[in-house]
Amino acid sequence: MSAQDRIRSLRLSMRFIAPLVVTLAVLGYALLPVVDRLTLRWWVNDLDTRSQLVANTLEDQLAQLVQQGATAKINTLFNRALQDQRLYALAFCDEKGKLRYETATYPQSLRCQPLSGTGADSPSVVHLPQGPLHVVAHPIYQGSDQIGSLVLVHDMSFVERRSADTRRYLIGLFVVLGVIISLVTVFIAHLSWRGWIAGARSLLRGEGILQRFGQRESSEDVHPLASDLRALLRDLDMSRRIPEDGATWSPEMLRGVLRDKLLGDEILVVSNREPFIHVHRGEAIAVQRPASGLVTALEPVMRACSGTWIAHGSGDADHDTVDAKDRVRVPPDKPSYTLRRVWLTEEEERGYYEGFANEGLWPLCHIAHVRPVFRSRDWEEYVSVNRRFAEAVRAEARTEDPVVLAQDYHLALLPRLIRERLPKATIITFWHIPWPNSESFGICPWREALLDGLLGSTILGFHTRFHCQNFVETVDRYLEARIERESSTISYGGRLTRVEHYPISIQWPPEWVDTQLPVPLCRAKVLRVEKLADDVLLGVGVDRCDYTKGILERLSAIERMLELHSELIGRFVFVQIAAPSRSSLEEYQNFEGRLRSLAARINARFGREGWEPIRLKVEHHPSHIVNEYYRAADMCVVTSLHDGMNLVAKEFIASRDDERGVLVLSQFTGAARELHDALLVNPYHSEQCAHAIYRALTMPADEQRLRMRSMRRLVQEFNVYRWAGAMLLDAARLRQRQRVSERIKEHGRTTDAVKA
């Protein structure tokens, strides 16, 4: 061991020893007075007993001598009693309190009132110039008459000597005890430290904890933290890839990952939702961006990757804009990647999308108190459409090992189907909605088939660790699979699937950063469109018209807030943008009806001429218009009942370059695990939400600025390029291992052939 290592070891030991020494010293210092008092009390009790014995022995003889007036004999009796080295003096006082007989050593200051100057520790202890004395008076009787009192004085200096010895012994005991405990603590700490370091090294090398330690007891010490340590190492690994100048992840960095780590391998994205929809507007064709968090996250990534996006063509003008191979270059203004459209019949769309995906899986995973509906014919269409998408992937793949990013619950069977067609492909599946607990997921009649499909993935991503844990527990309950929780992998069907959390985010810098109006102009424009006064307090909510988004609960909270704070009536307006979604489904139709009815009731109750508290807009709004509402608002309310991430919260934060505005955020969103400076609420608790909304409207500007600045830094650092980069870097490492493994196998086969 080098000198520096010895110094570090000594410093580590002192970290354990110093607090222990200080604690023992304080404890010893506090105990010494207690020990002194206990020792004094024990000796006083002992002297009380001894005094009683001496008095009983002398009583009869002393009574007779006092009656006879035999002074010489009394003195002889007292002096003989003083041969006890602890007995200091004796005296006799008559019944009138007059001192009649005493030894030469009897303190004159005591006279016949020995208890008048007693100390605080004991009524029988007095402190005189001679030192501490134990003084007691025992009555002397002649027959039944008391003729006086015998006063016995004991020297207590020996008690002080014994107390000093006791203190020395006690201090010595604490010193020895401290040394022994310190040595044992340091020894155990060094052993444990070596074990933890060895465990960390094994994690860095990718070894299993059980293999490294080789015994159950040791492994159980490290096992609870193994997953967290691995996650921390992965986060650090990602952080190291950020440039030293402090720049955040960007399209250029993402392209660098594709070039340097994936060696320019092709990227295919597969989703039900397409990033651009072409629709007829009279004789012209217009382009729409769908209201979708998936599109919001993936579209800027695809611009950076320049790959192919395979999606369902749902626009009524989509057929008119593709080439002979159903492809179109997008975005329309500056094409940078290819959109390949898959065509579905109305029957297929009704069974696969509206039926199984949105009447079955959507309510099942969101646990939004809407009963999931599962039909065999919907399942058959779901299987058929997933096969259609798998065929499209095989047709678009230019190599045998592309990187395929399969998206969301519409395509749960796709990873396995791609694996069957392209065995060497690296398949990254991202599940954009929550994954429920295993018991809830067991409601699905085709649960095993869905799990089998997803485990065709190389990497399976979720928004949060909690969703990852739910998925792993679901697999553990319903499939025969080997689960390695330390490495977050599942072995099933002879292949490994890594299950990891990748919190999704948004583009940074925001898309409209160079073209958007300043915040004051945005506010003026929105207030003019809404015909509102300049001093109005403006809140905004932006969602799809969906029962999982907590819009009804949000409006009820606003109603309660107006009940509690009537001074805001006429001053506060809430604009709810609710993009129509799945309008053909009965549950969504009923929800929209309830939403309109609730908004109308609140407006009828609190509205005044020319003013209504709720502005409900069940219509599509272009992204740049939504951004203007974000910038104009005093607050944004997100009250999802259950959500994977919810990017509205992050879009609002990204829009506020003025560092103003307040975010009220449901604790049941994935975003709540990151945005701790938002006002977190339980959307089911109406009054809590009402108080949070009022607090947001009355929050001081300085507090708004501190909160918003903190959240903006987080969204900037953990942007969508970092999200995609994390998945692609993990994919690159796995692809490299796979290729090395294949080379080793190929070399082995060649060697065997040569030997043969």
pLDDT tens digit sequence for 591-630: 999 999 999 999 999 998 889 999 999 998 888 999 999 9
Give 169-238 as a DSSP string: HHHHHHHHHHHHHHHHHHHHHHHHHHHHHHHHHHHHTT--HHHHH-SHHHHHHHHHHHHHHHHHHHHHHH
Q: Please tell me the predicted confidence (pLDDT) of residue 362.
A: 92
Residues 479 and 548 in one domain: no
Q: Is the pLDDT of residue 575 over 70?
A: yes
Last residue within a domain, chosen from 473, 501, 529: 501
Q: Is the pLDDT of residue 695 over 50?
A: yes
Contacts of 179 (CB under 8 A, 6+ apart): none
Last residue within a domain, chosen from 501, 531, 560: 501
Q: Please tell me the predicted confidence (pLDDT) of residue 236.
A: 54
SS3 content of the chain, % helix, strand, coil (to 5): 55, 15, 30
Residues 14 and 96 in one domain: yes
Task: Note whether 161 and 132 are within 8 A (CB).
Answer: no
Q: Is residue 206 part of a domain?
A: no
Residues 35 and 98 in one domain: yes
Q: Is residue 10 part of a domain?
A: yes
Task: Note whether 715 and 653 are within 8 A (CB).
Answer: yes
Least confident of 349-353, 475-479, 583-587, 693-697: 583-587
Contacts of 618 (CB under 8 A, 6+ apart): 545, 578, 579, 580, 592, 595, 596
Q: Please tell me the predicted confidence (pLDDT) of residue 240.
A: 45
Angle at 107 between CA 101 and CA 110, to 5 degrees: 85
Q: Pick from 728, 582, 718: which is nearest to 261 by CA? A: 728
Within 10 Å of residue 16's Cβ, how many Cβ atoms?
16
Residues 120 and 261 in one domain: no
Contacts of 568 (CB under 8 A, 6+ apart): 537, 561, 562, 694, 697
Task: Note whether 471 and 481 are within 8 A (CB).
Answer: no
Q: Is residue 237 part of a domain?
A: no
Task: Note whether 446 and 379 are within 8 A (CB).
Answer: yes
Residues 602 and 684 in one domain: yes
Residues 586 and 679 in one domain: yes
Q: Please tell me the predicted confidence (pLDDT) of residue 82.
A: 81
Q: Which residues of 29-68 are buried (b: 16+ CB within 10 A; e: fewer)?
A: eeeeeeebeebbeebbeebeebbeebbeebeeebbebbee
Q: Please tell me the predicted confidence (pLDDT) of residue 751.
A: 72
Mean pLDDT in residue range 539-550? 94
Beta-bridge mates of residue 630: none
What is the rounded average pLDDT for all residues in the chain? 84
Q: Is residue 227 part of a domain?
A: no
Last residue within a domain, chosen from 501, 529, 548: 501
Task: Note whether 254 and 729 are within 8 A (CB).
Answer: no
pLDDT band at 41 (very low <50, low <70, confident <90, very high): confident
Q: Please tell me the predicted confidence (pLDDT) of residue 194.
A: 66
Q: What percent of the chain has pLDDT over 90?
A: 47
Residues 354 and 476 in one domain: yes
Going by the DSSP 8-state scheme, the letter that residue 571 receives in this structure is T
Surface-to-core class of residue 627, CB atoms within 10 Å of its CB (0-12 exposed, 13-18 middle, 19+ buried)? buried
Residues 424 and 543 in one domain: no
Mean pLDDT in residue range 727-738? 86
Count of structural domains, the chain: 3
Give 88-123 as a DSSP string: EEEEEEETTS-EEEE-TTS-TTTTT-TTTTB-SS-T
Range among 187-196, 275-284, 440-449 rated most confident: 440-449
Residues 493 and 527 in one domain: no
Q: Please tell me the predicted confidence (pLDDT) of residue 409.
A: 94
CA–CA separation, 240 and 728 (whole Å): 15
Q: Is residue 58 part of a domain?
A: yes
pLDDT band at 40 (very low <50, low <70, confident <90, very high): confident
CA–CA separation, 489 and 482 (whole Å): 9
Q: What is the pLDDT of residues 101-122, one digit of tens each?
A: 888 888 888 878 654 333 334 4
pLDDT band at 46 (very low <50, low <70, confident <90, very high): confident
Q: Is residue 244 part of a domain?
A: no
Residues 415 and 271 in one domain: yes
Q: What is the pLDDT of residues 138-187, one digit of tens each?
A: 888 887 788 888 888 888 877 777 777 777 777 777 777 777 877 777 77
Q: Is the pLDDT of residue 399 over 60?
A: yes
Helix (H, G, I), strand (E, B), or coil: what is residue 636? Answer: strand
pLDDT band at 192 (very low <50, low <70, confident <90, very high): low
pLDDT band at 590 (very low <50, low <70, confident <90, very high): very high
Q: What is the pLDDT of residues 459-469, one digit of tens each?
A: 999 999 999 99
The CA radius of gyration of the chain, in Å to the nearest whole number, is 43
Q: Please tell me the predicted confidence (pLDDT) of residue 370.
A: 85
Q: Please tell me the predicted confidence (pLDDT) of residue 246.
A: 53
CATH number at residue 24: 3.30.450.20
Q: Is residue 556 part of a domain?
A: yes
Q: Please tell me the predicted confidence (pLDDT) of residue 94.
A: 84
Would strands 495-501 and 459-462 be described as parallel, antiparallel, or unpaired?
Answer: parallel
* Domain span holding position 351: 251-501
Residues 460 and 547 in one domain: no
Residues 613 and 488 in one domain: no
Q: Is residue 582 part of a domain?
A: yes
Locus of tokens 């009138």: 96
CATH number at residue 566: 3.40.50.2000
Helix (H, G, I), strand (E, B), or coil: what is residue 39? Answer: helix
